[in-house]
Amino acid sequence: MPVKQNDRSQSGATIYDVARVAGVSAMTVSRVMNGNSHVSDATRDKVTAAIAALNYQVNFAARAARVGTLGVGLLYSNPSSAYMSAFLVGAMDQCSQSGGQLILERCDDLRSQRSAIARLIANGADGILVPPPLCDSKSALKQLDQIGMPTVAIATGRPVAGVSAVRIDDYEGAMAMMRYLLGRGHQDIAFIQGDPLHTPALLRYKAYQDAMAEAGLAVLPERVAPGLFTYRSGLTAARQLLAHKTRPSAIFAANDDMAAAVVAVAHGLHLQVPEDLVVCGFDDTPVATTVWPELTTIHQPISDMARAAVDLLIDQIRRRRAGDPAPVQHKLMPFTLITRESSDASLAGTA
């Protein structure tokens, strides 16, 4: 297929532009770029010509030098720096052990998603990790499927049938926290929701509702506040929950960032935690032990989940290179209830 003259001067081209010019699918372009042997010479030549014509930034010399190296792409947009820090520790450690090279691209919105994926591939990604909240993005997973890219979703509440995933049971984790609070005599428990586009947030809220019903307690509208998993949204939610004349005895936030914000608001109102207000979070990210008092929380093994995800992805990449289809795997990791001073004053100084 001859390359049109007006395509030669395009800038910022994506893998989809290359596919259009070459007259092939985006999946075929991906196969050519990843060195897949199941591509004809004629097709490979057309794709290579289109890449050159569009000035698509692929360094074939660098790819040739990467023999034995596996490009592990990470597509992220998580607002929690604490979560991403823990995730990166595990991902980098496992890449180091497994001969992988971690390649990062931030995706801020749907509009930038396609170009971020294209940049990952151009920079040598042979497969892509998708942590929250993009693990629940139908458009992101569809794009990756369309180009035949090995993918592992991390921390999704509802794994997709055709995509490998690593997760915990968010519902049971939140139920464990609620039963802990109820078992300590709390009945007036408030809840801060997480990002409604993220399935674990929905499961954690469902567990709160079910646990309250299980205990014969009503869920009052004034005891539930929206959140987005960010510290700032936690501040707004905490102020809303604590503005009522009658305050809850405990607040369970859907993640640690928001729980830390609750502690800050409580201090500002001269409330003692946990004597006046018990505060609990979820995830056990580093912020859980950097605030005072330290947070009671559900430990999600984020670093270990990242290691497991890298391991699954590298297995997929190696099988693909060998022409052996990799099975879809859904790996469930354990969670742990960690009790600290934010719910039990007797634990002060015991860490």
The pLDDT tens digits of the residues spanning 134-172 come to: 888 888 888 888 888 899 999 999 888 889 999 999 999
Nearest residue to 316 via CA among 205, 210, 198, 163: 163
Question: How high is the pLDDT of residue 1?
Answer: 39
Nearest residue to 101 via CA among 332, 340, 331, 313: 313
Using one digit for the tens of pLDDT, what is the confidence trace for 72-117?
999 988 777 788 888 999 999 999 888 899 999 888 766 677 788 8
Question: How high is the pLDDT of residue 155?
Answer: 94
- What percentage of residues in the chain have a pLDDT greater than 90? 57
292 vs 14: which has the higher pLDDT: 292
In sequence order, which residues have a C-beta less than 8 Å from that of residue 40 and are 6 or more positions away? none
pLDDT-derived band at 65, boundaries 50, 70, 90: very low
Give the 3-state DSSP-derived string for the chain, with helices as H, strands as E and coil as C.
CCCCHHHCCCCCCCHHHHHHHHCCCHHHHHHHHCCCCCCCHHHHHHHHHHHHHCCCCCCHHHHHHCCCCEEEEEEECCCCHHHHHHHHHHHHHHHHHHCEEEEEEECCCHHHHHHHHHHHHHCCCCEEEECCCHHHCHHHHHHHHHCCCCEEEECCCCCCCCCEEEECCHHHHHHHHHHHHHHCCCCCEEEECCCCCCHHHHHHHHHHHHHHHHCCCCCCHHHEECCCCCHHHHHHHHHHHCCCCCCCCEEEECCHHHHHHHHHHHHHCCCCCCCCCEEECCECCHHHHCCCCCCEEEECCHHHHHHHHHHHHHHHHHHHHCCCCCCCCEEECCCEEECCCCCCHHHCCCC
The distance from CA 170 to its chain's CA centroid, rounded to whole angstroms, is 13
Mean pLDDT score of the chain: 87
Question: How high is the pLDDT of residue 12?
Answer: 64
Question: How high is the pLDDT of residue 273?
Answer: 98
pLDDT-derived band at 57, boundaries 50, 70, 90: low
Report whether 39 contacts 32 (CB < 8 A): yes
Question: How high is the pLDDT of residue 37?
Answer: 55
Whether 8 shows a pLDDT value over 60: the answer reads: no
Report whether 250 contacts 189 (CB < 8 A): yes
Whether 193 shows a pLDDT value over 80: the answer reads: yes
Domain with CATH 1.10.260.40 in the chain: 5-58
Question: How high is the pLDDT of residue 228?
Answer: 94
Whether 310 shows a pLDDT value over 80: the answer reads: yes
Question: How high is the pLDDT of residue 38?
Answer: 66
Specify the CATH number of the domain 5-58.
1.10.260.40
- The CATH number corresponding to 69-168+302-334 among 3.30.360.10, 3.40.50.2300, 3.60.110.10, 3.40.50.720 equals 3.40.50.2300
Question: How high is the pLDDT of residue 63?
Answer: 46
What is the model's pTM? 0.79
CATH architecture of 170-300+337-347: 3-Layer(aba) Sandwich (3.40)
Question: How high is the pLDDT of residue 14?
Answer: 75
Token pair belonging to 309? 């995800």
Q: Are strands 336-338 and 297-299 parallel, antiparallel or unpaired?
A: antiparallel
> Which residue has 């990952």 as its token pair?
120
Domain with CATH 3.40.50.2300 in the chain: 69-168+302-334, 170-300+337-347
Using one digit for the tens of pLDDT, what is the confidence trace for 317-326?
998 888 888 8
The distance from CA 328 to its chain's CA centroid, rounded to whole angstroms, is 19
Token pair belonging to 321? 């290179």
Is the bond preceding residue 133 a cis peptide, omega within 30 degrees?
Answer: yes
**Could you give the CA distance from residue 99 to residue 136 in angstroms, rounded to a whole number?**
28
Whether 222 shows a pLDDT value over 90: the answer reads: yes
In sequence order, which residues have a C-beta less than 8 Å from that of residue 310 and are 6 or more positions away? 72, 90, 91, 94, 95, 98, 100, 129
